[in-house]
Chains A and B, each alone.
Chain A
Amino acid sequence: MDLNFTKQAVRQGGEKPLTALKPGEAGVVKRLSTSDEASLKLMELGFGPGEVVTFLRATPLGGPIEVELMGYRLCIRRAEGDRIFVDPHP
């Protein structure tokens, strides 16, 4: 998925993958670079552009990461977290 306004963010270099955040750090979802099917699912779960996501913690041995968004918590695998790009300084 690529929404027009995200290109600007790329140029500004303000975005990084969700997995690169530190525990407790939050960022605004900019774009998802997953397949269309996965993007749709992630959007249903709440990872829509503009949503604030907080990185909570990582599980052992490179397991899933726990994040908070819209007041609920969810674990996703790193493979997905690596493809969700957020702007930590909106």
Chain B
Amino acid sequence: MSTPILERRSLTLAIGGNPNSGKTTLFNRLTGLRQKVANYAGATVEKKLGQFHTAQTDVQIIDLPGTYGLTPKSEEERIASEVILGMNKEVPRPEGVLCIVDSTCLEKSLYLVLQMIDTGIPTALLLNMSDELELRGAVIDEQRLSRLLGIPVLLISATKGSNLDQVVDLIDHWKGPADSSFCKLPVIPTLQEAALRRAKAREIARVVIRKPLQPHPWSDKVDAVVMHRVWGPLLFAAIVMLVFQAIFSWAQPFMNAIDFAFTSLSGLLKHLLPLGFWNSFLSDGVVAGVGSVVVFLPQILIVFFFIAILENVGYLPRAAAVMDRLLNAMGLQGKSFLPLISSYACAIPGIMATRTIENKRDRLATIFVAPFMTCSARLPVYALLIGAFVPNTSILGRFFGLRAMTLLGLYVSGFIAALLTALGLKSTILRSRGTPFYLEIPPYRIPAFKTICIIMWERSKVFLTQAGTIILLVNVILWFLASYPKKDGAVVVRESFAGHIGRFIEPAIKPLGFDWKIGVGLLSAQAAREVMISTLGTIYRVQVKGEKQVGLQQALRKDMTPLAAVSLMIFFAFAMQCTSTLAIVRHETGGWKMPAIMFVYMNSMAYAASFAVYHAGKLLGWG
């Protein structure tokens, strides 16, 4: 007797649900790390595809953006409804939807469930967080719910992994559309129909919730402090300082180690390989380039370690609520705060952290102003120039000197530029049109270690692939420009391509007080701002290793007036010089439009500000 050969079939399913309903956790549970993450074309919305295989089925899963409804008002809703209706060309049309809801607030989610069913797509309902439901003494009659809705209903816990075998079983026996018996409403409702759908959700919830939820045992007590009018902001300030400290100090030893490793490797290659093109290309171009990418990884990992924990515990929306009033005055919103603060370390993790902002316009405005925050790569440049040109005189007593004042002024300038830009954007092209601001406040939860690791892994991967490749490319190009053509076998910067470019742009930067050498420095700053220092070191033929920049400072003093130095610092405060930031913006916004606008806007502002400062200074006879 032969066993019947089962024909494998393939099935495409979508996972839909409200934000924070556990969609991504389920997606990760089902697909492991076999997933492809990109953006929908021209959108800020992430497109996530994954696949897995059951005993009989090859399943492809599309993770829909989290929404409360399918009426296409926001980008997320537009994409979710397009995918479900098979109108999105970038993903295959799903043959069904796994609608996952937080079972502790069933009634809220039923609105979306009803709307999904009304699209006619075969739907199954997964009541997630069954463990929490049980813990809080609630009982939902899933059979009754299944009969009422006419679709399969399963109680699961995506975090704990319970009942997932039943989900797989359900997928293996996936059926066509349910024959729903109760009255259907148009998918895109009028206000009256929306009210009716809400009323229906309430009716169903009333019938199937056998025992209501007990209040969360300690959420309220914690919130009395966390959202207190005095303690709330103080606690938040303390947490921000911790994150700040971590990014700046804890990351440093790792960054030093990485730097050391790559510098050693580069030196080793230089030593081992025969002199010539490949020697220089590999050691100065490639290895140094890869090193300058990887060196950012500790900061990225630390930022996302904190953000993942704060978000998954449930603290982030609470902090955002507490901070919202302040940020709203700036035209932004509470969730913009952490991304902006992170940008003081580096705009790249800051921009990547804007994903927590659901509102597209607020998110774009936050991304746009993030690079104005004085990042840590500007600091060495400021330190060099302030040390060289600003006298160490004290003002306002012994503790506050002119140097500190200058540095503070540069930080404040960046912040004011961000503030005015945000206000300008939010009152013109990014004005929020009637979309109410809301923050869901989830009960406190202890995050799964695995979830935190996955987030850190995903964000690092985005950084390495998106920013990393660009940084590497820019590094290699700059290496080439600075190393060729050679003169008598040696590199003379003035005669290199970079030198030529520097001299070519000299007339354009002369009005700012810069000569061709600074021009080459600005060119090299496109790789990363602090690279300018080593470039200037090469041009002036002085050692700039570590803290000892005295040689370079002396050389600069011979070549530049203090006024030109101030002009240069102003330029650095506003200019968009970091190519990797542009690459990340492109990735996060789904196109080159935003980075192009930012590049033009910030550099025009930098040019205008430097020009104004330099010429005003000249008129006043300062230099």
Contacts and interface: CB of A to CB of B under 8 A. Distances in A.
25 contacts: A38-B434, A38-B436, A43-B111, A43-B194, A44-B69, A48-B194, A48-B199, A57-B223, A59-B229, A60-B230, A60-B322, A63-B321, A63-B328, A64-B439, A66-B321, A71-B106, A71-B107, A72-B105, A72-B441, A72-B442, A75-B439, A75-B441, A76-B438, A77-B328, A80-B436
Interface in A51-68: 51, 57, 59-64, 66
Contact of A37 (B198, B317, B435): B435
Q: Interface range on chain B: under 10, 10 to 19, 20 to 34, or 35 or more?
A: 35 or more
B324 A64 contact: yes
Contact of B441 (A34, A41, A66): A66
A10 interface: no
Contacts of B104: 71-72
A42 interface: yes
Contact of A64 (B69, B105, B198, B437): B437
B435 A59 contact: no
B436 A43 contact: no
Given A48-B202, A60-B229, A37 B434 contact: yes
Nearest to B198: A48
B547 interface: no
Chief secondary structure at chain A's binding surface: mixed
Interface in A15-40: 34-40
A76 to B, nearest CB: 5
Contacts of B323: 63
B433 interface: yes
B202 A51 contact: yes
Interface in B90-122: 102, 104-108, 111-112
Contacts of B205: 70
Given A50-B202, A59-B232, A70-B107, A75 B438 contact: yes
Given A63-B325, A66-B441, A46 B434 contact: no
A56 B441 CA distance: 12
Contacts of A66: 227, 321, 441
B388 to A, nearest CB: 43
A50 B73 contact: no
A74 B192 contact: no
Given A37-B73, A59-B227, A75 B194 contact: no
Interface string B382-397: 0000000000000000
Interface of B is mostly: helix
A74 B73 contact: no
B106 to A, nearest CB: 8
B207 to A, nearest CB: 15
B437 A40 contact: no
Interface of B: 68-69, 71, 73, 102, 104-108, 111-112, 189, 191-192, 194-195, 198-199, 202, 205, 212-213, 223, 227, 229-230, 232-233, 317, 321-326, 328, 334, 433-442
Interface of A: 1, 3, 34-46, 48-51, 57, 59-64, 66, 69-77, 80
A47 B599 CA distance: 42
Contacts of B435: 37-38, 41
A42 B436 contact: yes
A6 to B, nearest CB: 11
Candidate in A36, A42, A50, A75 with the most chain B CB atoms within 10 angstroms:
A75
Contacts of B322: 59-60, 63
Given A45-B68, A48-B199, A61-B326, A74 B227 contact: no
A71 B199 CA distance: 16
A40 B324 contact: no
B1 to A, nearest CB: 55
A60 B438 contact: no
B436 A41 contact: yes
Given A38-B435, A44-B111, A70-B105, A75 B325 contact: no
B198 A60 contact: no
B232 A60 contact: yes
Contacts of A49: 195, 198-199
A34 B437 contact: no
Given A41-B438, A71-B106, 16 more contacts: A34-B434, A34-B436, A37-B435, A45-B438, A46-B198, A48-B199, A50-B202, A59-B321, A59-B322, A62-B325, A66-B441, A71-B104, A71-B107, A73-B442, A74-B441, A75-B321
B455 to A, nearest CB: 23
Given A37-B434, A40-B191, A61 B325 contact: yes
Contacts of A34: 434, 436
Contacts of A35: 434
A67 B227 CA distance: 13
Nearest to B326: A61
